[in-house]
Chain A
Amino acid sequence: MGFVNDVVPISVTGRSPELDELLVLVARGDETAFERLYDRLIASVFGLIRRVVRDRAQAEEVAQEVMVEVWRTAARFDPARGGAMAWVMTVAHRRAVDRVRSAQASSDREDRVARMGGEVAYDHVAETVTTRLEGERVRRCLDGLTELQRQAVTMAYYGGYSYPEVAGLLKVPLGTVKTRMRDGLVRLRDCMGVER
């Protein structure tokens, strides 16, 4: 099976005006722009979905849905309200989470809980992250969080858990989880130097 190996890495540190322009062109029906956008983003989109959904075949399905949704709804993208990369990744994350939540019969959920524990996500992430220059920074920033902040953020983002589920798994109060998700992300944002 052939794999894409010419994917251009995206800088973690800043917003890409070029990506924003591509997405604006996509909204006007420009298939060539869509193809370029695809090449730039698909590895991130697929990687995230695979992290959440886990099953490779399902991750491919969801990634396809996401890219078609990006094509279909590109007109909703407004560069004044955020970058193209975040916009696409938000679509991808929602779709991935929808998939795992809708597939969650209770027994299935037990399996996922058992598989995941509460820290596996991070360890697994850390392995992948070390292979990428951009990822180094993300890992360093994750290391700068408190244990609870890190678990709350990664279980929600990579595990696809809602905050009440995270609270249940970590056996901490709901209010604490909400707060740790927010202050954890704020600390990550400041560490990564995300533009505001």
Chain B
Amino acid sequence: MNDEIHTLSGAYALNALPLRELGEFEGHLSRCEACTIEVRGLQETAARLGVAVAEAPPRALKSRVMAQIAEVRQEPPPIDEEPPVAVVPLRRRPGRWALALAAVSAAAAVSVGVVAVNEIRSRDASIEETQSLLAAPDAVVRRVAMTGGGSATVVASESRGKVMFTSDLPALDPSRTYQLWTIGGERIRSAGLVDGGGVRTATVDLPPGTDHLGVTVEPAGGSEQPTTEPVMLAKVV
């Protein structure tokens, strides 16, 4: 357990983390059972501080709320998806995926550092680009396990010629970097470098004939070809 990040549980329960650290800590929470249990207890505690200052609102508030909920559709229950999952054509899963991923992308766009390598661009996806990708009739969405814990979501569309990768990536030693690869048969092409230490989203070109997207850890600056075992490999067709 990383003691430094673990100390943030109090600030998290008090909703006092700046955006950047919020993403990191939530990523950490998803992998740290002990932290999750502690946070729960601290949130229950913080809630009691709120109950202690209870104050009656105007009665009219209730009629406004009741009138409004009559016109607000509820979210369906979340579907528990354990990695890996089968390819899911987007049209079968409307709304939730698109919204969640667009939100992830928008949040990531604030602080993501994605570096171009070679001539292939790897950069933050704009919301429009993400929506366009998700709306593609042939979009495939996969959630796959990452070696060492956590998961990644990959959205690919052959017709749009793009693939989006998003994951909460653990920080790496500065001498190393994550590198994305598009793989088609024997052909492996670098798709760019991504740093770690939080939620990262990158949309890259999907060359014709690509069947997999891979991620490896490489020396800083990237490699011509992968030099280590992939930490993630996702089918994109």
Q: Which residues of A contact B57 (CB under 8 A)?
A: 3-4, 42-43, 46, 59-60, 63
- Is A179 within 8 A of B7, CB to CB? yes
Q: What is the interface of chain A mostly: helix, strand, loop, or mixed?
A: helix
Given A38-B65, A47-B50, residue A181 in contact with residue B74 (CB < 8 A) = no
Q: Which residues of B contact A177 (CB under 8 A)?
A: 11
A99 contacts chain B at the CB level, 8 A cutoff:
no
Given A72-B75, A189-B42, residue A85 in contact with residue B51 (CB < 8 A) = yes
Q: Which residues of B contact A182 (CB under 8 A)?
A: 7-11, 42
Chain A residue at minimal CB-CB distance from B13: A185
- With beta carbons under 8 angstroms apart, the residue of A46, A72, A97, A194 that contacts B41 is A194
Mark out the residues of chain A between 89 and 104 whose CB falls within 8 Å of any chain B CB in the assembled complex: 89-90, 92-94, 97
Given A27-B74, A162-B16, residue A89 in contact with residue B51 (CB < 8 A) = yes
- Is A72 within 8 A of B72, CB to CB? yes
- Is A186 within 8 A of B10, CB to CB? yes
- Is B61 within 8 A of A63, CB to CB? yes
Minimum CB–CB distance for A109 against chain B, Å: 15
Given A182-B10, A185-B45, residue A50 in contact with residue B58 (CB < 8 A) = no
- Is A86 within 8 A of B18, CB to CB? no
- Is A156 within 8 A of B52, CB to CB? no
Mark out the residues of chain A between 1 and 45 whose CB falls within 8 Å of any chain B CB in the assembled complex: 1-5, 7, 9-10, 12, 15, 27, 29, 31, 34-35, 38, 42-45
Mark out the residues of chain B between 26 and 63 whose CB falls within 8 Å of any chain A CB in the assembled complex: 37, 40-62
